Copies of this chain bind each other. A is one copy, B any other.
Amino acid sequence: MNLQRIADKLGITLKKLESLQENIIRRSSWPEPRLQRFEKATSGIEAGTAIFDNGDIVYGYPKIRRALMLKAAIKRYFSDRIAVEEKMNGYNVRVASIDGEVVALTRGGFVCPYSTEVASRLIPEVVFNDHPELVLCGEMVGPENPYVSKDIYPTDSIDFYIFDLSRKNWKGTLGVHKTHEFAEEHGLRATPMLGEFRTDRAYDEIVGIVERLGKKGHEGIVMKDPENKAMPVKYTCSESNCSDLEVAFRYYNDYALDFFVSRAVREGFQSAEWNESDEERRARALRIGESILLPLVDTVKKKMSGEQIVQQVQIRVKNIQTARDFEYHLRRSGMKAIFDQPEPNDEGGYLVRITKLVMSTNDKTQALIEGEMW
């Protein structure tokens, strides 16, 4: 790898690149292709940016910031018009072709073996043959998403929805219209486009959309400038905030503390901005309270009856090696998981059941029900 060339591409000095390699940039030699990834954002380069050994750079997708007050955020961040897309609830990957091989990168810039297999299956070969420089930024969703398993999307396994396009060695993105056009032309799924509105009328429309999405159990929306001249802004449904709380309190000792509080605070702002009636607010309070209390009670009772506190997920793979690689990938991500023996299925692939251990919640709950103090 020619370091000077990489530094030039990144727009930093060679010296800076060398100093980053000591602190911020980490090597990842498995699975192939080998790369160096930015563990943190720095010098205008997003976290998760990957520099492959062949010199290709795939930049991290910019973090989408969140509005707590919808109307004020619309006014502050957008000019004439706003395009509203669904924010899908899964995990983010960037898919690119490196030396002719499809590679799916996680947010952190690791090659994920499972996502790579899924992406290779779902993205027609012609896409990267015709556009070898392309980076597809999208969301992996569905019940066989091993990170965030949701059965609200039209798949019984896992599916890939693109929400933006970029190119290797380029920091920019092509934005909402080009992405949807490209998806349509190439038979790819894209996150649903829910409408485009004049900024001064968008608030009421968007509240309606968010309420409808919430009732269906979907996560929320991303607002984008149709001209791709402003940063996108996300906003979530109450039901999604509560469903986050539900998961977090079920595994209360394994989640970061700000995860809990941020969801509750979002609810407060939404309720205040939406000027709810006493009855609506009461319903929201009950929803919040139940999202906290019921999973906690469930966890405690499970443990009292001797059950282990675990998360069950499953994936389907074509290649049995993908499952083995994914097991290693989860482990290096700091997750403890037990993989069952792969079960061959009718489609010529394998179903793999995975038990994710939530050791901290498991042990803490055990200690507490034995009367230990907190």
A interface residues, Cβ below 8 angstroms from B: 65-69, 71-77, 233, 249, 252, 257-258, 260-262, 264-265, 267-269, 271-273, 281-282, 284-290, 292-297, 299-301, 304, 368-374
Contacts and interface: CB of A to CB of B under 8 A. Distances in A.
Contacts of A289: 284-290, 292
The 4 closest A-B pairs by CB, nearest first: A268-B296, A289-B289, A72-B371, A285-B289
A75 B371 contact: yes
What's the number of copies of this chain in the assembled complex?
2
Nearest to A72: B371
A300 B272 contact: yes
Nearest to A68: B368
A199 to B, nearest CB: 12
A374 B69 CA distance: 10
Q: Main SS of chain A's interface residues?
A: helix
Given A272-B300, A297-B272, A265 B252 contact: yes
* Candidate in A293, A294, A301 with the most chain B CB atoms within 10 angstroms: A293
16 contacts: A65-B373, A72-B369, A76-B371, A249-B268, A260-B264, A264-B293, A267-B296, A268-B293, A268-B295, A268-B296, A272-B297, A273-B300, A285-B293, A287-B289, A288-B293, A289-B292
Contact of A249 (B72, B264, B292, B370): B264
Nearest to A268: B296
A264 B293 CA distance: 7
Contact of A271 (B71, B74, B293): B293
B374 A262 contact: yes
Contacts of A371: 67, 69, 71-77
A270 to B, nearest CB: 9
A74 B65 CA distance: 48
B252 A268 contact: yes
Contacts of A297: 268, 271-272, 281
B373 A67 contact: yes
A272 B284 contact: no
Contacts of A67: 371, 373
A374 B68 contact: yes
B260 A252 contact: no
Contacts of A282: 286, 290
A285 B287 CA distance: 8
A9 B374 CA distance: 31
Contacts of A66: 373-374
B269 A300 contact: yes
A117 B71 CA distance: 51
Nearest to A288: B289
B285 A267 contact: no
A66 B290 CA distance: 24
A271 B296 CA distance: 9
B292 A268 contact: yes
Given A69-B370, A233-B373, A267-B292, 14 more contacts: A71-B371, A249-B264, A252-B268, A257-B260, A260-B261, A261-B261, A264-B293, A264-B296, A268-B296, A268-B299, A269-B300, A272-B301, A281-B294, A289-B290
